[in-house]
Amino acid sequence: MGNKPPDEPGPELSGTCELLSFSLPAAPNGLDGALSFDYDKASSTFSAMYLKWIEKDSPEMLVPEFRTDGARVLLGGNEVVSGETAVSFAEDFILTVEAENGDTKDYVISLNCPQINTELPVLRLEPEREIADKENYVDTDVTLYSPFTDAGRWSPEDGAVEVRGRGNSTWILPKKPYRLKFPEKVSPIGLDHTKAKSWVILAHDMDKSLLRNHIAFEVSRILFNPSEDRHDPSAVLFTPCSQFVNVYMNDDYHGLYQMSDHMEQREGRIAVEELTDKDGADPEKITGGYIIETDIHEGNRYTAQKNIRMTYKYPDDEEYDPAQYEYISGFINEAERVLYSTDFTDPSSGWRRYFDERTLVDFVIAKEFCGDMDGYTATYMYKRRGVDKLFFGPVWDVDKGWDNDRRVPHPQYQPLDNLMIYAGFCMPPDVNYDWFQRLWDDATFRQSVAARWAEVRDRLVSKVDEVLKVQPAAMRKAIEANFTVWPFYYQASEEAKMPAATYEEELERISGLTERRAALLDRLFADF
C-alpha cells in the first residue's frame, strides 16, 4: 500500500465585514418614501430622520434593506435578513456584520422618528379644520401616549378634544402654543397631580433653549415646597407640572412642546375656594376664593391709586356676581392704599396686613434669580376665603428670563446688572413707582428676601445646572427634530433675543448667566 496523500487546503475564508448601505423601503414600512441612512465613519453610525406619521400597527417595527460584503448580519445574536426581518427602531441599536472567517464589525443604527423614539410622550392633533385663533375651539382627534406609562393615554375613540390657540405675544409666532380641552377630566400621560379638562402645550418659539419655563418651575418647586412647613397654611403652594412632548399636527411633526397645567381654580392647581355667580353676595362666601393676574395685555380692571391693569381669572367674567368683583376690587384698592400710606412698614397696620410676606418673598426671589423681564408685569395672586391677605404665585411664563428680552424698559437700569424690580417691566410699564418698588423701600422686607436668598441660593444654582445637564440629554433626538422643523438660529419675535450661535452654546450661556445672576444677588443683598 502506498502513502495517503495530504489533505488539500480549503478555500481561504473572507475576512470582509462591511455594512455598505442601509435604508428603509417605503411600501413594507408605511413610509411616504424610501429613507436612506447616512454613514458617519468616525462613529460607525448609520443615521436618518423621519418626521412623517407612520400609520400602521407597531410603527416602530420596520423592515430594513442593506448591502454588506460580510457573510451575515446579526442583532443581539440573531440573524437579520435584508428586506425580510422586522426590527424595532424605537431606540438606537447595534448591528454586527460577521465575515466568513468569523471576524466582526459593529455598526450603530439610529433613526430619529419622534413618533416611535422612547425619549418622550407623543401627542398627535388631527383637527377637523385649521386651528386659526385663540377664541374658537376646534374639534380635534387626539392621540396621546407615553413610553413610560399607560396612564393618561388618549385615542380618537375616547372622544374629540377641543383645541384652540393661546398666549399673547407667543400666538403671533410661527410655532404656536395651544390649549386642549378634553371632554372629561383627565391626567394626561401620567401627570397625576390633578385631573382636569384643560391643559396647555407651550411652544417656546421665543426661547431657543426650550428650557426656561421648565427650569423656572424647578426653581419654584424649591421655593414653594409644602414639606418645608415655611408658609402660611392658607397658602396654595402650587407649581405647574412640566412634561415635554413630541407633537404632530395631522401627518407632520410639529415640534417639541412643553405640556403643563392651565392656570385655573381647581384642586391640584390654584385651589382657592369655589365661588360662582350663584353664591351672589353671600357674606359667608364672598371673601374667597379669587385669582387675580396683573395683565398689560388683556386686563380690563384698574386699581384706584396706581391704575395697575388686572384680569380677574376667578371667578371669571362669565360666572360671577357683580358684588363679588366689587368686593375683591375694594380689597385690592384698600391694600394698595395702605401700601402707599406713610406708615406702610408698620408690622400690624401696614402692607403686611393685606399681603402675605412669605409667598411674596419667594415670588421675588424666583423672578430675580431667573432674571425675568416680565416677572412683575404678569403676577399671579389669589385670595382665600376668610383670610384677609393676597398671596403670590404661581410662577408662570418665564420664557423671557435669563437675558432673553431685547427690550430695555429703563435705560438707567440694565437687566444684567440690576434687580428686575427696577430693570424689568413694571405693572404695567407706564406705572411710576409700582407695588414692588414700593415694597422694596421696606428695609425689613429686604432683609427677609436676603435671608431667604442665603438659605436657598446654592440649591437654586445647583438645580439649574442639573436641569441643563440632564434634560437636553434626555430628549436629544427631539431637540434635533424640533430644530429641523423650526430653525434654531432664527428669531421671529421682535421682543426676544437671538440665541447663542449653537444650541450647546445657548445652554452654556444660561449656565453662565445663572452664576452671574447669583453673584449679583449676593452683592445686592449683602448689606441687608
Residue indicated by cell numbers 379644520: 129
**Whole-prediction pTM value?**
0.95
Contact 117, 479 (CB under 8 A): no
Pairing type for strands 178-186 and 196-202 reads: antiparallel
Backbone phi and psi for residue 520, each to the nearest 5 degrees, phi listed first: -65, -45
The span from the CA of 162 to the CA of 139, in Å, is: 5
pLDDT attached to residue 5: 61
pLDDT attached to residue 176: 97
117, three cell numbers: 423614539
pLDDT attached to residue 299: 83
Counting residues of the chain whose pLDDT is more than 70, the rounded percentage is 98
The span from the CA of 122 to the CA of 131, in Å, is: 19
With cut-offs at 50, 70 and 90, classify the pLDDT of residue 6.
low
Average pLDDT on 322-334 reads: 98
Per-residue pLDDT tens digits for 236-248: 999 999 999 999 9
Pick 425 or 164 by higher pLDDT. Answer: 164
With cut-offs at 50, 70 and 90, classify the pLDDT of residue 40.
very high
pLDDT attached to residue 427: 79
196, three cell numbers: 382636569
pLDDT attached to residue 7: 64
Average pLDDT on 455-474 reads: 98
At position 330, the amino acid (one-letter code) is G
Average pLDDT on 299-304 reads: 90
Inform me whether the pLDDT recorded for 1 exceeds 60: no
The span from the CA of 330 to the CA of 431, in Å, is: 20
pLDDT attached to residue 10: 62
At position 61, the amino acid (one-letter code) is M
Per-residue pLDDT tens digits for 108-141: 999 999 999 999 999 999 999 999 999 999 999 9
The span from the CA of 203 to the CA of 258, in Å, is: 7
Per-residue pLDDT tens digits for 362-412: 999 999 999 999 889 889 999 999 999 999 999 999 999 999 999 988 888
Mean pLDDT of the chain: 95
pLDDT attached to residue 431: 82
pLDDT attached to residue 296: 82
Pick 153 or 6 by higher pLDDT. Answer: 153
With cut-offs at 50, 70 and 90, classify the pLDDT of residue 300.
confident
Measured N-to-C along each axis, helices 476-485 and 443-474 cross at an angle, to the nearest 10 degrees, of: 90
The span from the CA of 112 to the CA of 478, in Å, is: 8
- Number of other residues whose CB lies within 10 A of the CB of residue 446: 17
Average pLDDT on 216-243 reads: 97
Contact 197, 184 (CB under 8 A): yes
**Among the listed residues 493, 466, 419, 459, the one whose alpha carbon sits nearest the alpha carbon of residue 205:** 493
pLDDT attached to residue 489: 96
Per-residue pLDDT tens digits for 61-119: 999 999 999 999 999 999 999 999 999 999 999 999 999 999 999 999 999 999 999 99
**Among the listed residues 217, 213, 272, 262, the one whose alpha carbon sits nearest the alpha carbon of residue 239:** 217
pLDDT attached to residue 4: 60
